[in-house]
A and B are shown apart, each in its own frame.
Chain A
Amino acid sequence: MMTDTIPNLTAFDEAALDQAFAALARQAQDAAAALNGEADAEAFRLDWLGRKQGRLNDVSGRWLKAAPPEAKKALGLRFNALKAEVERLLDAALGAGPSDAALAAEAIDITLPGTRRLTGAEHPITRTLNEIVSVFAALGYSVGVGPEVETDYYNFESMNFPPGHPARDTQDTLVVAAQDRRPLRDRLLLRTHTSPVQMRTMEMQPPPVRIVIPGKVHRNDAQDATHSPIFHQVEGLCVDTNITFSDLKGTLDHAMKALFGSAVKTRFFPSFFPFTEPSADVQISCIFCGGKGCRKCKNSGWIELLGCGMVDPAVFAFAAEKQPAYDPKKISGFAFGMGVERIAMMKYGISEIGSFYAGDMRFLGQFV
């Protein structure tokens, strides 16, 4: 540690001051470079900045006093600069902390894998349902739900599937036991589609209606890669004055673009559902090949995605039993329904519908 004292200053011109202060700065820098550890730094601090014996104190005591008045300012400026430099050196010495050797002893293997907490994954069906629902919420649709166990009336009759109608054959139904003695319309079954919620909604509120209905449905179908006795649908219903088929087209075209990207095109072609007329199936341009034709779209460039149509006047007639405002001469509406599994399978490249219901951690973990 420096023990030499501060020399007296004899000349106070600028050059002499510069030289004197530069020498002191060099001394401080040399001393700082040799510091090792907190104890050294403390000694350096006392040596240079100590209130009583500190070298800077000495400088100000002797040089400043001895300086002629016209040189005091120039000396003061240089003094302050030196002080700042010493403080900087001290800060650097203190900030350096333990030596590199001490730190090296604490080395860890940073290539070992990080410790991860499990992040839960939303089910791909929930995720897809929510995406669809939010697209329609943005179009002004409220959300509705209905029971999974339905009566024949809501599931079939009020949806214009008359008793004994062949269209009932297209939806193999799981039924609750011991219904044979009950009137047909009261018989309980597992709903085969979310459409009965259309009727429940209309019975509860007069038009206008804009509602989207997500839900679980069941059919007595054998399980294969793309069919399951359990699946999910999203139903939509829009009823108002002056709702047209072109509104249906525009709504679904917008929804498909929102779900699958703005490049997606839609096309509509005639289909049959007892509760809509005209009825349509909707295809979107293949999201895998952009419509050029690939294995996924069976080289057609199109993928069939949903069913829809204008609400059949017979359905409005059932609704009008409780809400007379559903007069098909005054109002009109459209309805649509889509299978959520099918959309999720497409979006996420899932090949087996059964994967959705097996609860396999390895499958579900992919959707984090």
Chain B
Amino acid sequence: MNILTKWLRAYLPELPADDAQLAEDLTLRGIAVEGVYDLGPGNGSLYEMDITTNRVDAMNHYGVAREAAAIYGLALPPLAFPLPEPRATTSPFSVRIEADDACGRFTARVLRGVRISDSRDWFSGAEVSTYFALLEQKCISSAVDATNFAWLAMGQPTHAFDLDKIEGGIVVRRALKGEKLKTLDGVERSLDPEDLVVADHAKALALAGVMGGWDTMITPATTNVLVEAAWFDPMAVRRTARRHGLHTDASHRFERGADFNAAPLASAIVSSIILANGGHIEGDLVDVQAASAHARTAGRQPIALALSEVHRLLGATVDKEGITAATVEHVLTALGCGLAPQQGSASAWLVTLPSWRLDIEREIDLIEEVARVYGYNGFRNTLPSFGEGVRALPWAESESVVRRTLLAAGFHEAIASTFCSTAEAALTAPQPGQIVPLGNPLSEEAGVLRPSLVPGMLAMIAGNLHRDVSDVRLFELGTVFSGSTEKVEERPALAFGAAGSLPEQGPLHAPRLIEFHDIKGVVEQVLARFQMRSVYFDRFPADSGLMPAWLHPYRAARVAADGLTVGWFGQLHPAEAAARKLKDPVLVGEIYVDRLYKFAQRKPAAREISRFQPVRRDFSLILDKTIAWEKIDQALAGLRIPELVDWRVREVFHDAKLGDRDYSLLMGTTFQAPDRTLREEELRSFQEQVVEAVGKAGARLRS
């Protein structure tokens, strides 16, 4: 909404501030001026306003002038639009409110013999063409412009009908089933029985409080006019406007609560402007009111306000004197409240509320007004005392450990979309059939709540590779969703993805593509931060249906901690890679960190480091290709030789000389005792035990 300072100053000629200062002072009191534009000599400035939805009363020139008057302690004269004496009539215009739950007041004034023309500056206080030109407000006709002028001046929506198109009188009622109305925008609308309409005795004329009707609009041929100024219920207008997808100035105001008492003045503004071009009034203003609407707006009960509550909630001020009874009285009176001392107290009042401030309903609302006009920056900066002890989230440290481990492994943290497509969800959901769709998704690709972080991870990896960023290392810690539209479960999850070469490459080292075991190492590092009795990796036959469909069935693993599945990882299924136009192998995985966080974090504990010489022995083994390292590993673990302190694969060879079925493996072992140097005989015995154990596991020594 835009405001002209020229128009404001017409209402408050004694304003002591220049336009820039006024803008600042208004903004600091919640009537925010977002932009100030100089309109040239003598034209003042145009303010671009950003007024919060609760302050609909200030979305017009008189409303802003009222705020300025309160700030500078000026008196604001009431608006005066005197009307000529009406000509008497024997048949007053008929107005009936049937839907009195939705229409609280309806005023109608009959103007006859008017001449519709272009707008002019009609008289002092009705500078229609000057103000509209400065506001770049479109001029339509003298009658329509008069209603817009009233709206811009004091915020009350009005409507002018061509009286000769009205049959009988006005009835404000709900629409009839199947009733039709062509509105001013030229759209033929089918009305809903819940819609509130302004009708005559034969047909609907207008969507009440939203938009006028086509058939009764003012035309250059119009000579007789009916001026409507009414009060409609916010919810009734809101529902009608929503139903028809309309948002107009009028509906905006009525939805947020119009001023019940404003109708006669608004009607006078419109009528006096139309009559300035000729014509006369017929009969008195017809004013029909519903008592219940009056009671909840203009006729509200006064509310109690105590200065002690003001102090209890607002606290210390910079100024020593602070907020006194006089401050409260001055501020609230300027805003249109009436204050009566309560029970003879000088610091407690009964406050009557202005009809235009429906947002003020409670004591706290009055306290806010006092704080607002006093100025928020007049309050001191104080600190409350400490409360109780500080509690961190129970899993905060675990999450932090996981994050630090991945950062140290060279993965960047990412945040992906919370949503994915139905197809991606079906592909990656750990629990099928538990996908939660959105009712109003942003797009089809974002149609459901992500059941897994994998779709987002794949999208980000693809994004990088398609932008020629070939080395990708990403992880995300985020929420995944499952359940139904009745009940949604949320769990924290971790996903990671990698593609391209290992970062250790340099000009002196040959590059190597990242592969499964690089990622497995990262998973092991993450799991090593928690206390678990056992961690193992396995996979299932491709046809078992147990492998996630997004993973390569022979280059992927499930990871289980103490028998519980905590995640899956491996190479992206080549079909999925192809579907995303990814040529290089992509490694991706997901860890169910909610399960991980149930384990305690590993607590470091120091062990004595042996002073005695370790002895290293390598074994070159030949194995059938069906025998995995795990078997050898378990065989050595099964020996339970305390002096066998370490064993590991040093190298794996696939040697053509061995034939298709076999492969060879170099295993390193380390023997060490905490308390002595190992003797030759001991070592020989250990070696024999190792050879026997790996032999039982299916390995033979390479000669």
Chain A residues near B (Cβ < 8 Å): 112-123, 125-126, 137, 139-145, 147-149, 164, 166-167, 169-170, 174-179, 182, 188, 190, 208-210, 216, 218, 220, 229-230, 238, 240, 242-247, 249-251, 253-254, 267-272, 277-280, 310, 312-313, 332, 356-362, 364-365, 367
Interface string of B477-517 (1 = CB under 8 A from A): 01101000110101000000000000111111100000000
Distance, CA A174 to CA B377, complexed state (A):
37
Smallest CB gap from B252: residue in A:
A166
Please name all residues of chain A whose beta carbon is closer than 8 Å to the beta carbon of B472 when the two chains form the complex. 361
Pairwise interchain contact A278-B490, C-beta atoms closer than 8 A: no
Of B362, B387, B503, which one neighbours A210 at CB under 8 angstroms?
B387
Distance, CA A126 to CA B368, complexed state (A):
35
Top 9 A-B pairs ranked by shortest CB distance? A244-B315, A270-B30, A359-B460, A246-B315, A118-B410, A120-B407, A272-B52, A250-B381, A115-B506
Pairwise interchain contact A362-B383, C-beta atoms closer than 8 A: no
Pairwise interchain contact A229-B442, C-beta atoms closer than 8 A: yes
Residue B437 is within 8 A (CB to CB) of chain A in the complex: yes
Distance, CA A67 to CA B159, complexed state (A):
135
CB of B7, distance to nearest CB on chain A (Å):
23
Pairwise interchain contact B415-A149, C-beta atoms closer than 8 A: no
Please name all residues of chain B whose beta carbon is closer than 8 Å to the beta carbon of A166 when the two chains form the complex. 53, 234, 238, 255-256
Distance, CA A268 to CA B318, complexed state (A):
14
Given contacts A122-B413, A244-B316, A364-B412, whether A149 and B490 have CB atoms under 8 Å apart is: yes
CB of B134, distance to nearest CB on chain A (Å):
23
Please name all residues of chain B whose beta carbon is closer than 8 Å to the beta carbon of A247 when the two chains form the complex. 315, 382-384
Please name all residues of chain A whose beta carbon is closer than 8 Å to the beta carbon of B317 when the two chains form the complex. 246
Pairwise interchain contact B437-A176, C-beta atoms closer than 8 A: yes
CB of A24, distance to nearest CB on chain B (Å):
44
Distance, CA A283 to CA B315, complexed state (A):
21
Smallest CB gap from B405: residue in A:
A120
Distance, CA A280 to CA B371, complexed state (A):
11
Given contacts A122-B407, A126-B413, A364-B412, whether A251 and B384 have CB atoms under 8 Å apart is: yes
Pairwise interchain contact A360-B28, C-beta atoms closer than 8 A: no
Smallest CB gap from B459: residue in A:
A359
Interface string of B305-327 (1 = CB under 8 A from A): 00000001111110000000000
Pairwise interchain contact B418-A364, C-beta atoms closer than 8 A: no
Residue B575 is within 8 A (CB to CB) of chain A in the complex: no
A/B interface sample: 6 pairs, CB < 8 A: A114-B506, A123-B415, A140-B387, A177-B437, A244-B313, A361-B464
Of B27, B407, B417, B464, which one neighbours A360 at CB under 8 angstroms?
B464
Given contacts A175-B438, A218-B418, A270-B30, whether A120 and B488 have CB atoms under 8 Å apart is: no
Given contacts A230-B418, A240-B387, whether A123 and B490 have CB atoms under 8 Å apart is: no
Please name all residues of chain B whose beta carbon is closer than 8 Å to the beta carbon of A244 when the two chains form the complex. 312-316, 382
Given contacts A118-B410, A251-B383, whether A164 and B238 have CB atoms under 8 Å apart is: yes
Distance, CA A216 to CA B450, complexed state (A):
14
CB of B486, distance to nearest CB on chain A (Å):
8
Pairwise interchain contact B413-A120, C-beta atoms closer than 8 A: yes
Smallest CB gap from B483: residue in A:
A149
Please name all residues of chain B whose beta carbon is closer than 8 Å to the beta carbon of A269 when the two chains form the complex. 27-30, 32, 376-377
Given contacts A120-B410, A142-B390, whether A249 and B379 have CB atoms under 8 Å apart is: yes
Smallest CB gap from B317: residue in A:
A246
Beyond known contacts A112-B507, A267-B377: 14 more, CB 8 A cutoff: A120-B412, A137-B390, A145-B393, A147-B490, A166-B53, A177-B437, A190-B418, A246-B317, A251-B384, A270-B368, A271-B30, A277-B365, A278-B367, A278-B371
Chain B residues near A (Cβ < 8 Å): 27-30, 32, 52-55, 234-235, 238-239, 255-256, 312-317, 362, 364-365, 367-368, 371-372, 376-377, 379-393, 396, 403, 406-418, 436-442, 449, 456-457, 459-461, 463-464, 467, 469, 471-476, 478-479, 481, 485-486, 488, 490, 503-509
Please name all residues of chain A whose beta carbon is closer than 8 Å to the beta carbon of B436 when the two chains form the complex. 149, 176-177
Please name all residues of chain A whose beta carbon is closer than 8 Å to the beta carbon of B417 when the two chains form the complex. 230, 357
Pairwise interchain contact B504-A245, C-beta atoms closer than 8 A: no
Please name all residues of chain B whose beta carbon is closer than 8 Å to the beta carbon of A125 when the two chains form the complex. 415
Please name all residues of chain B whose beta carbon is closer than 8 Å to the beta carbon of A170 when the two chains form the complex. 53
Smallest CB gap from A247: residue in B:
B384
Pairwise interchain contact B388-A246, C-beta atoms closer than 8 A: no
Pairwise interchain contact A310-B52, C-beta atoms closer than 8 A: no
Please name all residues of chain B whose beta carbon is closer than 8 Å to the beta carbon of A176 when the two chains form the complex. 436-439, 449, 485, 488
Pairwise interchain contact A250-B382, C-beta atoms closer than 8 A: yes
B376, B407, B474 pick with most chain A CB within 10 angstroms: B376
Please name all residues of chain B whose beta carbon is closer than 8 Å to the beta carbon of A178 when the two chains form the complex. 437, 439, 485
Please name all residues of chain A whose beta carbon is closer than 8 Å to the beta carbon of B488 when the two chains form the complex. 147, 149, 176, 188
Please name all residues of chain A whose beta carbon is closer than 8 Å to the beta carbon of B316 when the two chains form the complex. 244, 246
Pairwise interchain contact B410-A148, C-beta atoms closer than 8 A: no
Pairwise interchain contact A142-B437, C-beta atoms closer than 8 A: no
Please name all residues of chain A whose beta carbon is closer than 8 Å to the beta carbon of B409 when the two chains form the complex. 120
Please name all residues of chain A whose beta carbon is closer than 8 Å to the beta carbon of B438 when the two chains form the complex. 174-177, 190
Pairwise interchain contact A360-B504, C-beta atoms closer than 8 A: no
Of B54, B406, B416, which one neighbours A359 at CB under 8 angstroms?
B416
Of B384, B440, B471, which one neighbours A175 at CB under 8 angstroms?
B440
Distance, CA A115 to CA B368, complexed state (A):
62
CB of B177, distance to nearest CB on chain A (Å):
23
Pairwise interchain contact A361-B474, C-beta atoms closer than 8 A: yes
Please name all residues of chain A whose beta carbon is closer than 8 Å to the beta carbon of B414 when the two chains form the complex. 123, 359, 364
CB of A354, distance to nearest CB on chain B (Å):
11
Of B53, B379, B392, B485, which one neighbours A142 at CB under 8 angstroms?
B392
Given contacts A220-B442, A272-B52, whether A361 and B381 have CB atoms under 8 Å apart is: no
Distance, CA A218 to CA B446, complexed state (A):
13
Smallest CB gap from A114: residue in B:
B506
Distance, CA A313 to CA B439, complexed state (A):
33
Smallest CB gap from A254: residue in B:
B383
Distance, CA A176 to CA B487, complexed state (A):
10
Please name all residues of chain A whose beta carbon is closer than 8 Å to the beta carbon of B235 when the two chains form the complex. 164
Of A147, A169, A243, A357, which one neighbours B384 at CB under 8 angstroms?
A243
CB of B351, distance to nearest CB on chain A (Å):
16
Of B437, B463, B506, which one neighbours A358 at CB under 8 angstroms?
B463
Pairwise interchain contact A177-B410, C-beta atoms closer than 8 A: no
Distance, CA A244 to CA B53, complexed state (A):
25
Please name all residues of chain A whose beta carbon is closer than 8 Å to the beta carbon of B234 when the two chains form the complex. 166
CB of A313, distance to nearest CB on chain B (Å):
6
Distance, CA A251 to CA B52, complexed state (A):
25
Given contacts A121-B407, A361-B464, whether A143 and B379 have CB atoms under 8 Å apart is: no
Of A112, A143, A167, which one neighbours B393 at CB under 8 angstroms?
A143
Pairwise interchain contact A238-B384, C-beta atoms closer than 8 A: yes
Pairwise interchain contact A220-B391, C-beta atoms closer than 8 A: no
Distance, CA A240 to CA B457, complexed state (A):
44
Please name all residues of chain A whose beta carbon is closer than 8 Å to the beta carbon of B456 when the two chains form the complex. 359
Smallest CB gap from B479: residue in A:
A148
Please name all residues of chain B whose beta carbon is closer than 8 Å to the beta carbon of A367 when the two chains form the complex. 412
B372, B377, B384, B389 pick with most chain A CB within 10 angstroms: B384
Distance, CA A278 to CA B363, complexed state (A):
11
Smallest CB gap from A164: residue in B:
B235
Pairwise interchain contact A121-B412, C-beta atoms closer than 8 A: yes
A121, A167, A313, A364 pick with most chain B CB within 10 angstroms: A364
Of B362, B412, B415, B476, which one neighbours A361 at CB under 8 angstroms?
B412
Smallest CB gap from B377: residue in A:
A267
Given contacts A176-B437, A277-B365, whether A115 and B509 have CB atoms under 8 Å apart is: yes
Pairwise interchain contact B449-A245, C-beta atoms closer than 8 A: no
